[in-house]
Structures are given as C-alpha cells and as structure tokens.
Amino acid sequence: MAVLGKTTVQPDRPSVGPRGPGGLIEARGIELVPEHERWGSPSRLFGMWAGTCWNVEFVVYGTLAVAIFGLSFAQAVAIILVGNCFYVLTGLASLPGAEAGTTAFGVSRAAFGPRGNRAPSFFNWVTQVGFEIEGIALIVLVAVAMFAKGGVQASTVLKVVLVIAAVAVQALLPLVGHRAMLKVLHWLAYPFIALFVIMAVITAGKVNLHAAPHGAGWGSLMVFLALVISVGGLGWTENASDYSRYLPAATSKKRIVAAVALGAAIPSALLEVLGAAVATAVAPAHAGGLASVTGLVAVFPAWFIWPYFLMALLQLFAINSVDLYSSGVTLQSLWSRLRRWHCVLIDTVVAGGFAAYAVFSGRFSQLLADFILFIIVWLAPWFAIYFIDYLLRGRRYDPAALMDEKGGLYFRRSGVHWPAVVAQAVGMLAAMAWLNAYSPYVSWLSSHVDGSDFSVFMGLVFGGGTYFLLARKGIRQEPAYRPVPAY
C-alpha cells in the first residue's frame, strides 16, 4: 500500500518484485516500482544505452548520408554531430520514469488521460513493432548471407526457418526482464567497441574524403538530419522511462540526463561517422549497396567477414530486445489485463509475420526508409507534450493515479485530457506539412523549399506550444503529489 499525500491507494494488482516466483522472469510490467525496489543508477543507464547503440545499424545509417543523400564526408560529419546532440531529448524523457516509477506510456496518462492515452500508446506500439520487424529482417538477411558465404543458397523453407528462429531467440532477453537486459547490454558494449575499432582500422586506408566534393544542397541536408534525429535522440524518447523507472526518485536529474545522452550519443555518432567513411571507400555506382548490414562487407577483407557477421547478429538481437521490452509494456497501457510475458509473445508473433513479408517482398530498404521518416509525425509532438506536461506539473506525479483507469486525478472528463489530444493532432498536422518522405509522400512545403524536411521541429514546436497554451492553467490548478516511500 502506497501513501500519497492525503490519499491512501491500494494498487489494482498485488505488489510484485522485479522477478517472478522462480526468480528467472521479471513479473512486473507497467505496475509501479516502489522506492525500496529501485536498484538502478545513472551509471547502469549509461552502460545500457551504450550497449544498445554500439550497433551495426548505426553504421548503416551513416552510409546513407553519402550513398543515398549525396552528402560530402564533411557535410555528413557535421549533420551527424548536430543530429546526435538530440540525445539530450532521450535523457530528458528519462526523468518522468524515475519520478513516477512507471513506464513511458504509464506516465503519459497524466497528459492525455487514461483513455486519451490509448491513441499515442497504439502509435508507439506500432513503432516499436516496426523496429522489431526491421531487426528480425536484418537478422535473417545476415543469416542468409552467412549461408551463402558457406556455399548454401537460402531456399524459401530455410528463410522461414530463419525467421522463426530469429523471433524465438529475440524474445528471450525481454522475457527474462529489465535487470538481465541491463547487465547483458552493458557487457556486450565491450566486444562491440572492439569490433568498431577493427572496422575503423580496416576502413582508414580506403577512405576517400574527397568523394562527392560538392556535396548536397541544404534540402538534402535537412532530410538526413531528420533521419539522424528520428533513429537517435527523438526515436528513443518513447523507450526512455521504461528503463529509468528503476532509479530512485531522488536521483540527480542532471546525472540521469547526462548518463543517457552520452551513453547513447557517443557510440551513435562514432558509428555513423564510420558509416559515412565506409561509403566514400567505394565507387559511387556501387555505394547504394552499402545501405544494408550485409552490403558493408564490400569494404572488408575476407578474414573479417565471419567475425563481422557473427557480431552483427549479436548486436541486432541486442537492439531488438530493447524495442521488444518497450512494446510489451506499451501494449499493457492499452490492455492492462495482459501480463508482460503475454505482450512479449503477442509482439513476437506479430513482428515475425511482418518480418517474413519484408524478407520475401524484396522491398525491405524502401519499407525501412518510409517507416523511419513517418514515425516523426506522431513522435515529435508526443514527446513535446509529454515533457511540457512534466514541467507544468512541477516535475511531480501522483503515481497511484497513473495506474487508475476508472477515476482519479488524471481521469478528468471521461478519461480524456482534450488539450493533449488537440495538441497531438495539431503537431502531427504541422509535421506532415513539412515532411519529405520521398517517394510515398512529399509535403507541399517540402516540394517548394528545395525538398527540405523540418518535420521534427514542426512537430515539437506546434505540438508542444499548443499543449502549453491549452493546458498550462488547468494543470497548475491540479493537486500534485510526491509519493512517500513505502517500506
């Protein structure tokens, strides 16, 4: 039982520890983490995010700058460095989780209401499953390349078996839970760093810094910047509180932001710069082939291909585990009766089915690019609303009210906080107004302003600004509670 200000609230579910009865699988899903069970620390968050972002996917994102967008190496480095500064957003998005002791889309109920929160929760679930699909498809493509290297051509049956095996393996770490994930991701960072050093040494002698000497126009620069932000600092904001909720509420906010931002930004920036360098090492006519995990082997010596493939598989499973864990707890914010392990299984089956389609359709690269650019539309305004709500209410929550789906402080009118819903819609429309997701969608503003893309900034400014104007008076009148630790 948790004592909160003037009220005493019994949670809907019995208190459970971080692990199940057998001590193996984490039982807690979206439920509150009591203070005496908050064993996390900023240093553990740093290790977790570093282990997540030391990942070959970020090398591939870096190759896109030169191979697809036509940036010079100097332009690519500049945009990568600027774009990765936005990991500060991931750090800021971690603060509500540590304060409230629940997940991102548990906290999001304060801004949207328990019923109004279902729409952004659904958007996030689709986003997380989309990244899982990307990861599974990449794992299968790497495995197919490994079989081909060994002289075995992948048949339809083999590809199906690989998809099933990939979804089964990727479910293990999220199923075991939060503590195990932090440990594994922390320790995996070390071999991943070693792989980066080897790749950098191999690439150094082949880099052509004068490739694409004239570079790209500012419109292409802005599109690539949007991509870097969406797969980096903005793209992880919806996961952030899922991992910070095990930190004590009194943890230094500066340390949380710094640990998350630096832990994620340093590897992301280094790997993306490496990817841009790799792309300059091949002829422009063949550079497009680098925009995949398997295409990178074109610049590697034969002895390094097998170690690279094996480490790439581990990295892809690692980053997928983060998405799968978050998609599971997000699904609980939609259907609270589900247990977290139920959600992991549901997400695994859904992601596996769509990953099979991506693998067999032959359109994986196009589907991936479209997906990454379109997630900006909902994510930028949601983050702005989420964080401005946190500031407006004095950085305090009533945690028990966050768990109350039928009443309480955040229920308001029929469970919907309309200022947030309106602001989300305005922000999404604003983001769509300046989005360049070529070829399926190019906005009027983008097509008339050199093909540029300011969707991230439009979503942040219009979504956040609208929420601030509509909600500031009402939220400041709401009572705020800080939980008294129950021991």
The string of pLDDT tens digits covering residues 193-210 is: 888 899 899 888 888 777
**231 in any annotated domain:** yes
**189 in any annotated domain:** yes
Q: Which helix (H) or strand (E) holds 211?
A: none
Q: How many folded domains does the chain comprise?
A: 1
Question: In a 3-state reduction of DSSP, which class is residue 416?
Answer: strand
Closest CA to 105 of 118, 90, 94: 118
The string of pLDDT tens digits covering residues 306-316 is: 998 988 888 88
User: What is the C-alpha separation between 298 and 147, in angstroms, rounded?
Assistant: 17
Cα 30 to Cα 21, 246, 283, 384, 400: the distances in Å are 18, 12, 50, 22, 12
**Counting Cβ atoms within 10 Å, is residue 439 exposed (0-12), middle (13-18) or buried (19+)?**
exposed
The string of pLDDT tens digits covering residues 277-301 is: 988 887 665 565 666 777 788 888 8
Cβ neighbours of 457 (radius 10 Å): 18
**477 in any annotated domain:** no
What mean pLDDT is reported for the chain?
84
Q: Residue 321: what pLDDT?
A: 83
**12 in any annotated domain:** no
Tell me the pLDDT band of 378, cut-offs 50, 70 and 90.
Answer: very high
Sign of CA dihedral 196, 356, 327, 84: positive
Question: In a 3-state reduction of DSSP, which class is residue 413?
Answer: strand
Tell me the pLDDT band of 487, cut-offs 50, 70 and 90.
Answer: very low
User: What is the C-alpha separation between 53 and 167, in angstroms, rounded?
Assistant: 21
What percent of the chain lies above the pLDDT cut of 70? 88
**461 in any annotated domain:** no
Q: Residue 222: what pLDDT?
A: 95
CA atoms within 13 A on the CB side of 481: 21
The pLDDT of 95-121, averaged and rounded, is 94
pLDDT at 77 over 90: yes
**423 in any annotated domain:** no
The string of pLDDT tens digits covering residues 249-283 is: 999 999 999 999 999 999 999 999 999 998 888 76
SS3 content of the chain, % helix, strand, coil (to 5): 70, 5, 30
Tell me the pLDDT band of 3, cut-offs 50, 70 and 90.
Answer: very low
Tell me the pLDDT band of 434, cut-offs 50, 70 and 90.
Answer: very high
- Per-residue burial over 164-177, b if 16 or more Cβ lie within 10 Å, else e, is eebbeebbebbbbb
**449 in any annotated domain:** no
Strands (E), 308-439: 436-437
CATH classification of the domain holding 155: 1.10.4160.10
Question: In a 3-state reduction of DSSP, which class is residue 4?
Answer: strand
Residue recorded with tokens 């009533």: 398
Write out the residue range of the structural domain in which residue 314 sits. Answer: 19-31+40-374
Angle of CA points 385, 390, 392, to nearest 5°: 90
Closest CA to 408 of 29, 4, 119, 105: 4
Tell me the pLDDT band of 24, cut-offs 50, 70 and 90.
Answer: low
Higher pLDDT, 325 or 108: 108
Sign of CA dihedral 307, 202, 272, 178: positive
pTM value is 0.86
Cα 128 to Cα 13, 179, 248, 375, 380: the distances in Å are 26, 20, 26, 10, 15
**92 in any annotated domain:** yes
Q: Which residues face 423 on adjacent strands?
A: none
Q: Residue 1: what pLDDT?
A: 29
Q: Residue 119: what pLDDT?
A: 94
Contact, 352 vs 163, CB < 8 A?
yes
Tell me the pLDDT band of 68, cut-offs 50, 70 and 90.
Answer: confident
